[in-house]
Amino acid sequence: SRDKEVYCLRWAATTFLQAWWRGILARKRAGAMRQELLVTFASQIIKNTWRRYRAQEVLLSKVELNIIPAKAATRIQAQVRRWICQRRYQRIRGLALALLSIRRKGSKLYGLRVQLNYTPIYKRTTVVRDMLSMKNSDAVVRIQSMLRMAYVRRQYITLRNAAMYCQAAAFTRIRRAEFLQARKAVIYIQRWWRTRKALLELPIQHALAPAPKLPKGSFSFLARRERTSAALLRGPLLASQGFFDSVTQRSGRHFLSLLDFQ
């Protein structure tokens, strides 16, 4: 166990020394790389500064010196003109504000004067106003009635047009539904008639089964329902028996009809 303990201590010491040495080497390598990066960055900055300086020198060598004073003079003139226009605008704006305030004060004074002079004017014109009101009362009432009549007439015309429009829309939908239903019925009847005509023209020995006859005294709606049901079932019943097949028709087979169920 003593040898094992010594071996472990030696192994830990060697591992510590190796790690320490590797850390020193890594720090040296990192310092060298950092120094290289700093040198590269510094050289790049120096190169850029030198190129900028050379470009400015070349640009200044190509620029004519008499253009710069002309531009400066033009800019100074523009600033002076701007200052003059601004002063003129401020002066005009101040005058406009002053005129507005004067006009506002004058309108207030004039309104006050009218209010002070309104009482004697009202007293002088009261008699004349009463005379005119007594004389023209019938005319005023007539004018008012005419205006009310025109207003009510306009409302009535608007409501009547709206009601007529609604009725026309409703009647249009109803007539269209009736037309579509009638057209569907006509198409159904035409198809049935053409099919029956084509079946009657076929060279077969068995004729189509006649429509079933209802007993007397049955209700009308029941009769209509039975006729409709019979008309709808005749075709599928005959087709299921092979009535429309030429080979089956020549075989002399008896076909079941709706009359057999009565």
Contact 256, 239 (CB under 8 A): no
Tens digit of each residue's pLDDT, the chain (262 residues): 678 888 888 888 888 888 889 888 888 988 888 888 888 888 888 988 898 888 888 877 776 666 566 777 788 888 888 898 888 888 888 777 777 777 777 777 777 776 666 666 666 666 556 655 655 567 777 888 888 888 888 888 888 888 888 888 888 888 888 888 888 888 888 887 777 777 777 665 444 555 555 555 555 655 666 666 666 666 666 666 666 666 666 666 665 555 444 4
Contact 208, 199 (CB under 8 A): yes
Contact 211, 223 (CB under 8 A): no
Secondary structure letter of residue 199 according to DSSP: H
| Cα 131–chain centre separation | 65
- pLDDT tens-place string over residues 205-214: 444 555 555 5
- pLDDT tens-place string over residues 232-250: 666 666 666 666 666 666 6
- Please give the model's pTM, rounded to 2 decimal places: 0.27
How much is the CA Rg of the chain, to the nearest whole Å? 58
Contact 223, 209 (CB under 8 A): no
